[in-house]
Each structure stands twice: as C-alpha cells, then as structure tokens.
C-alpha cells in the first residue's frame, strides 16, 4: 500500500469514528503505552498536541499524567514554521497558552525553545504504521525533517487507532521508523 492510499483510507475510517469510539480506542492505546513505556530516566519528552477535528489520539492524558506523576520530565511540543517547512521545539508546561495554527494544530504561543538534541523520547503523530515501524503521517515530512535534528538514540513512539498495515511500498530514504508502536490491541517493537 502506498502512503497516499493508506492516508486516504485510514483518515476516512478515523473520521467516521464517534467521539465515544475515539475515547474508548484512545484509552486502550494509552493502557498499552503506560504498561510498556518506562518513563523513569526520561528528562525531555516531546509530544504532539492532538487535533480534535482529525480524531487524533488524545495525548493530553499522557501530558497530564506526566505533570502529575513524573514532575522531573520536561514536556516539549512543536510549533510550525510554515515559511521554512520546519518544526521548532518548545517547552510545554501547565498553564502554557495555546492557539491553533492554520492547520488547526494547537501550539504554545510564547514558550522557550528547546534544543531537539536534548530529547530522550518523542511521541509522533501518525495515521497508521506498517509492520516494520514506518509511519504514515499527513504527508508534509515535518517530523521526518525534525528527527534529523534529534540525537540518534531518541526513542520514537507511535500511537495508532488501527493495527499496522503489512508494508508501505513507497518509502523515502529520509523516512524514520518507529521504535515502538501502540494500537488498541497490541504493542509493537521495531529494531
């Protein structure tokens, strides 16, 4: 399956879910996440902020758990520099003011920048991933470019509402695979 085919198919399926279905599936994915991800020792965790209109997994549950139970973790998210097709890394703290960008993505409005080389772990937005850990995003390549600025050993995690497809046929040499993928039914480890 090509990225475009997967993007079209699974975005349509995801948009067809009701809010209750999204909440139930999100809870199952996050149960997997909290069972299998060791957050001890993580100093900087990058996490995307969900686009509710796209029925993305609600990462606010991870964010709030980290703020309450792992106060030593610095949470980081991205702001989009559209003119450069670039993501800047910024601190996310309780009380951080957010505004939606032109794509409807909530972003901090006035947070200090963080060097991506500091990140220990990143939770990547995606639509689906394949059995080799390659992800299908929204097709602009922002996160693949962002990952080139992170340290090599950063742990890359994907959260998906669907089980992985067999393979993505049109990988680009800059596509960066996940280390771990979580679905409502299973945890996937990639090497």
Structure tokens at 110: 């006035």
Query: Is the distance from CB of 181 to CB of 57 less than 8 angstroms?
Result: no
User: How do the domains of the chain map onto residue ranges?
Assistant: 3-186
Report CA-CA distances (Å) from 165 to 10, 33, 180, 189. Answer: 10, 20, 15, 15
pLDDT tens, residue by residue, 56-113: 999 999 999 999 999 999 999 999 888 777 899 999 999 999 999 888 889 999 999 9
* Superfamily name and number for 3-186: NagB/RpiA/CoA transferase-like (3.40.50.10420)
Report CA-CA distances (Å) from 74 to 45, 69, 112. Answer: 6, 12, 12
């Amino acid at each position: 399956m090509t990225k475009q085919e997967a993007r079209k198919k699974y975005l349509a399926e995801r948009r067809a879910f009701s809010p209750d279905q999204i909440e139930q599936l999100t809870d199952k994915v996050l149960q997997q996440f909290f069972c299998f991800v060791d957050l001890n020792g993580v100093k900087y965790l990058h996490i995307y902020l969900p686009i509710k209109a796209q029925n993305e997994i609600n990462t606010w549950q991870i964010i709030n758990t980290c703020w309450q139970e792992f106060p030593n973790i610095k949470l980081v998210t991205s702001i989009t520099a559209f003119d450069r097709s670039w993501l800047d890394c910024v601190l996310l703290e309780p009380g951080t003011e957010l505004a939606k960008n032109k794509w409807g993505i909530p972003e901090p409005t006035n947070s200090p920048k963080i060097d991506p080389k500091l990140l220990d772990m990143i939770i990547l937005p995606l639509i689906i991933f394949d059995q080799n850990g390659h992800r299908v995003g929204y097709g602009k390549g922002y996160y693949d470019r962002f990952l080139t600025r992170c340290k090599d050993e950063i742990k890359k995690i994907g959260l998906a509402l669907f089980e992985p497809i067999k393979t993505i046929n049109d990988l680009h040499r800059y596509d960066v695979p996940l280390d771990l993928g979580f679905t409502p039914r299973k945890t996937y480890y990639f090497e």
